[in-house]
Structure 1
Amino acid sequence: MPLYAMSCFKLPLSLCKRIQSILTRFWWDDKPDKRKISWVAWNTLTLPKSEGGLGFREIEQFNDALLGRISWKILHFPDSLLARVLLGKYCLEKNFLEVTASSSCSHGWRSILAGREVLLKGLGWTVGDGSSINIWKDPWLSTDLPRLPIGPPTEENRHLKVSALLQPETNDWNAAAIQKHLPQYEESICKLIPSSNKKKDALVWLPERKGFYTTKTGYMLAKLNSNAPISENFNWQLNIWKIRIPPKLKMFLWKVKRKALSVGNNLSCRGIVSDLLCKRCGERESELHILIHCSFARRVWDLAPLHRTPRSESSSSLGSLLTSARQTQALPPLGITHSSLYHWILWYIWKSRNLLIFENRIITEEETITKAIVAAKEWQAAQPIVKTPQRCRTTNVPPTEASLIHVPLIEDATLAIPHIEDSTQALPPDEVLLCFTDAAWNASSGSCGMGWIFKTQHRVIHRGSAFRRHTPSALAAEALAMKYALTAASRMEVTSINVFSDSQVLISLLNTETSTNELQGILHDIALLCHSFVSCTFSFIPREANVLADGMAKAALASLNSPAL
């Protein structure tokens, strides 16, 4: 495929169709001079594997997705030489996201605008100080999908910025302003957590968790918007692609489900009227008949050493046949534990049918089962043994509950940083502080509780906790707990601190200095708080070594739902 040309210019539609035709013929034909039946439509082949396709690229949409990379670079690197030339020539009156193609513009600029259309389907704003985001025109209500409020706006607020909904002192959400302008979106807005330090608003790519545009997600979004979604109650990943069997068996199962095998029913649908009956029993041939309903197949399954074998009455469709296969295991004496004997038997039933038709060879039921068992064992023995890596453990285990100092619980109702009581003990000079944080999150209510413990090598010097009602995820709750703990340590004038958390994802984000769309504001605040310490490190510990902070977080969450509050 001409990837370099496709990443620079938009190809003509006729050329895209020619490339598509070449790919189709390469996939289905045996030889260049021998054309075969295309059993599955091209639109189906280009679907992702999780949707029942094979992940082939739709040429025109893939071309647009590649061009989206240039548009992304122009949008985020406007000071580059290419961006300055193009923006200076074509974007004098309107910005890049709003400009239209003039009649005199070059083919290269039209290609870039084609890539921009892909970007517009997935761009969204993460709220910082809110000064760059128009409430009614820009997508800002979600960090997952491009959502904006449904109008129409009033004459008073049609030019309003998101900054009008934030408190100027703390950069927290102003409940009164939200109730005045967007009361129906209050819950969605409160789940967005802006930076307390008024970070600038950022335009991010929402389909990608880290906010950066990728050709893969751009293509998937373009493909999703070009075709109506097909609702199908069948999990392709679990039932086919993630099964521990060879690729040839996975492709066979995909062809079975997609009716891409040369059986009688499929041949008759394409106008072929000969050889439509089963060679063993004389009935109409279909995938289900060959694999389950035929008398030969039933005798094979009766001999199968499985704890649950398929039955004709329960396997009414190909989907139910493949779904029930995941629940079937080989009996213990065989030793087949890392592969699926069920799918090997399906494969050898199909091979036995082909040998009878094309070579006139009769394979007995016993031979079919024996071949399936031998092949399953050989493939299992050839697979490398993957050892599960042991989780690293820390020697800094938290102290007992009896040694903790009680600090009153404070509600964080308005997203403000909780007040830390002055009942903490003094930290010895030049001693490193050990901090343990954890959070508990209720998915149904969106509430979370947070807890943190400060200790030295010998004693606990502080404990704190807080809770919050509108939290988008468990990861956001973990990040908030760490932010509040670092704020408390900063107020105690700590110089060196080692922070421990049982959230491996959060620790990885902090140590690699990366971010996500959801956590941009929180991680920005944590990065600034780190500058107030001479030394600040982040380490992962297993949950069983963080039980006290976990208990405090759960207690804080429980107190939020208590009648007293």
Structure 2
Amino acid sequence: MTCFQLPVSLCQQIQSALTRFWWDNSSGSNKIAWIAWTKLILPKEQGGLDFRDIQSINDAFLAKLSWRIIRNPESLLRRILLGKYCPTGDFLTCPVSSAPSHGWCGILVGRDIILENAGWAVGDGANLSVWESPWLSLTQRERPMGPAPKHLTNLKVADLFLPEKNEWDLARINQWLPFEEEKIRMLKPSLSGAPDKIFWLKSASGEYTTKTGYAIALLLHLDQALIPQGEPDYNWKQNLCGLSESIDHLFLHCKFAKEVWKSAPVWPSSDYSGTVDLRSEWHSLCTRKKLPPTGLSSGALAPWILWQLWKARNSLIFKDKGFSATEVISMAIAAAREWNDNQHKTPVLSRSQPIRTIPQERCVLVRSDAAWSEANNIAGLGWIVKSQSSRRFVGSPLVAEGLALREAVTKCKELGLTRVRFESDCDQLIKALTSDYPMAALYGIVSDIKSVALSFECISFS
């Protein structure tokens, strides 16, 4: 199970044995299975018993094997398999050969799961396509919206850097990707030129785990099991269509809802698969930019689209009257305009604030203190020289801690120090520095720190 893809018939036989063990009595006589297997394998928070689906756990183990091949390029297994089935050496893009072995086919199943749920941390940007590689986010698969201009089809992320320097060229970003500037500036590439690295997006560490892989594989198999066979046309009233009606299905995943979101005048456009849920996507829906001619200067359009979807669903079920996707969008825009027009803002009285002395920029902060012993007339003197700097577009406190330590290490190198001990109150940062697999958000920063650390005679992090 951990190395080869099991036949579907064998998975069904194992599942049948588990079902009979759960429902039959000790005498061996068959009893009725009162709850469907598709409900028993759901997580407990979704009303299931968290039974393991055989086919899903098999795919999760295959994905783990594929992850090992990705993470260990010098391993004997990788060199043998890629030498036979992928002469180009690129495991992530190699096609299925004409006569693959059963083992290789299973590895490719795991690879496809990895590719659908992995993203890239920007290092030197040399191997990342701006339009094809998911590099804009470390929490979800995201890349710039196309289509790409003809003269920029082969644009690499490295082309967005300043010449001979791994820092963002804001002029080029404003020229080619103006709508993605904020997201790009939140990314911190490696200043030392570390290679780009792939990360698993479903775990905080960026490393693949069988638990998160199983959750993804289970969603895929449940979606396939719920799709009605032999029914090319989707009838929303049957959602009634053989599919269980849930909040996520009603508002995001059914065919009619997808048509509504696709035609919504927002940017970026919404196109949802069966793996996203409304709770995690809510902030993204409410922050999308409204396009003309909606006439909405403030407020979000998403709540009104959800409200009109619910009303259209009720109208179809109880009145047998349906609406088109265009009509739903028109009613949502009209309701949003009506709401905005009837909001009366009460002016807020401003209070005078006490004037504070603002520290001047580019100043070195020096703090001093002393301790004195009256009995011995001895004094202990201490001072700290701080170089203050600020950074915009920092995505999290963890990234801020990493940037601060990177500047400290670089400054110690400039001062000519050879034996240094660095201390930090950020446990996650220290673990990332002392482990072989840093977190995705810290990849470029940790690579730079380790590169500079080679210049010291003795260095430690705690």
TM-score range, shorter chain: 0.5 to 0.7
Aligned amino acid, residue 417 of structure 2: V
Q: Aligned ranges for residues 397-476 of structure 1 at < 5 Å?
A: 409-410=361-362, 458-476=381-399
Q: Distance in 2 between matches of 1:485 and 1:36?
A: 69
Unaligned runs of 5+ in 1: 1-5, 233-405, 411-419, 426-456, 540-565
Note the aligned Cα RMSD (angstroms).
2.8
Q: Contact between 2:82 and 2:89, CA under 8 Å: does it hold in 1?
A: no
Q: Structure 2 vs 1, CA of residues 462 and 93 (structure 1 numbering), >3 Å: closer, same or farther?
A: closer
Q: Aligned ranges for residues 93-492 of structure 1 at < 5 Å?
A: 95-227=90-222, 230-231=246-247, 409-410=361-362, 458-492=381-415
Q: Distance in 2 between matches of 1:98 and 1:133?
A: 13
Q: Distance in 1 between matches of 2:32 and 2:39?
A: 15
Q: Contact between 2:41 and 2:51, CA under 8 Å: does it hold in 1?
A: yes
Q: Structure 2 vs 1, CA of residues 500 and 81 (structure 1 numbering), >3 Å: closer, same or farther?
A: closer
Alignment match of 1:71 (pick from 23, 46, 66):
66
Superposition deviation, residue 142 in structure 1: 1.1
Match of residue 496 from structure 1 = 419
Q: Contact between 2:4 and 2:103, CA under 8 Å: does it hold in 1?
A: yes
Q: Distance in 2 between matches of 1:483 and 1:65?
A: 37
Match of residue 11 from structure 1 = 6
Match of residue 92 from structure 1 = 87
Q: Contact between 1:11 and 1:63, CA under 8 Å: does it hold in 2?
A: yes
Q: Structure 2 vs 1, CA of residues 104 and 169 (structure 1 numbering), >3 Å: closer, same or farther?
A: closer
Q: Distance in 2 between matches of 1:511 and 1:102?
A: 40
Q: Contact between 1:210 and 1:517, CA under 8 Å: does it hold in 2?
A: yes
Q: Distance in 1 between matches of 2:435 and 2:453?
A: 14
Unaligned runs of 5+ in 2: 224-244, 249-357, 368-379
Aligned amino acid, residue 503 of structure 1: C
Rg comparison, structure with higher value: 1
Aligned amino acid, residue 140 of structure 1: W
Q: Distance in 2 between matches of 1:47 and 1:492?
A: 58
Match of residue 261 from structure 2 = none
Superposition deviation, residue 490 in structure 1: 2.5
* Structure 1 runs, 4 residues or longer, greater than 6 Å off: none
Q: Contact between 1:136 and 1:151, CA under 8 Å: does it hold in 2?
A: yes
Q: Structure 2 vs 1, CA of residues 199 and 36 (structure 1 numbering), >3 Å: closer, same or farther?
A: same
Q: Distance in 2 between matches of 1:535 and 1:195?
A: 23
- Equivalent position SS for 1:501: coil
Q: Distance in 2 between matches of 1:490 and 1:180?
A: 36
Superposition deviation, residue 190 in structure 1: 1.1
- Equivalent position SS for 2:420: strand
Aligned amino acid, residue 10 of structure 1: Q
Does residue 456 of structure 2 align to residue 533 of structure 1? yes
Q: Distance in 2 between matches of 1:25 and 1:184?
A: 56
Q: Distance in 2 between matches of 1:159 and 1:18?
A: 49
- Equivalent position SS for 2:171: helix
Q: Can you list the C-alpha shifts for 1:418-441, whole angstroms capped at 9, x where unaligned?
A: xx85x879xxxxxxxxxxxxxxxx
Q: Distance in 1 between matches of 2:8 and 2:16?
A: 12
Superposition deviation, residue 36 in structure 1: 4.2
Superposition deviation, residue 24 in structure 1: 2.0
Q: Structure 2 vs 1, CA of residues 169 and 460 (structure 1 numbering), >3 Å: closer, same or farther?
A: farther
Q: Structure 2 vs 1, CA of residues 73 and 494 (structure 1 numbering), >3 Å: closer, same or farther?
A: same
Q: Structure 2 vs 1, CA of residues 88 and 489 (structure 1 numbering), >3 Å: closer, same or farther?
A: closer
Aligned amino acid, residue 500 of structure 1: E
Q: Distance in 2 between matches of 1:79 and 1:478?
A: 33
Match of residue 25 from structure 1 = 20
Q: Distance in 1 between matches of 2:203 and 2:142?
A: 16
Q: Structure 2 vs 1, CA of residues 227 and 183 (structure 1 numbering), >3 Å: closer, same or farther?
A: farther
- Equivalent position SS for 1:38: coil
Q: Distance in 1 between matches of 2:75 and 2:89?
A: 19
Aligned amino acid, residue 487 of structure 1: T
Q: Contact between 1:72 and 1:119, CA under 8 Å: does it hold in 2?
A: yes
Q: Distance in 1 between matches of 2:418 and 2:427?
A: 25
Q: Distance in 1 between matches of 2:418 and 2:114?
A: 44
- Equivalent position SS for 1:125: strand
Superposition deviation, residue 527 in structure 1: 2.0
Superposition deviation, residue 111 in structure 1: 1.6
Superposition deviation, residue 35 in structure 1: 4.0
Q: Distance in 1 between matches of 2:430 and 2:54?
A: 40
Aligned amino acid, residue 445 of structure 2: I
Superposition deviation, residue 162 in structure 1: 0.3
- Equivalent position SS for 2:388: strand
Q: Contact between 1:407 and 1:463, CA under 8 Å: does it hold in 2?
A: no
Name which of structure 1's ranges 86-95 and 171-180 shifts more when overlaid on structure 2.
86-95
Q: Structure 2 vs 1, CA of residues 98 and 509 (structure 1 numbering), >3 Å: closer, same or farther?
A: closer
Q: Distance in 2 between matches of 1:87 and 1:230?
A: 43
Q: Contact between 2:126 and 2:158, CA under 8 Å: does it hold in 1?
A: yes
Q: Contact between 2:20 and 2:30, CA under 8 Å: does it hold in 1?
A: yes
- TM-score using structure 1 length: 0.52
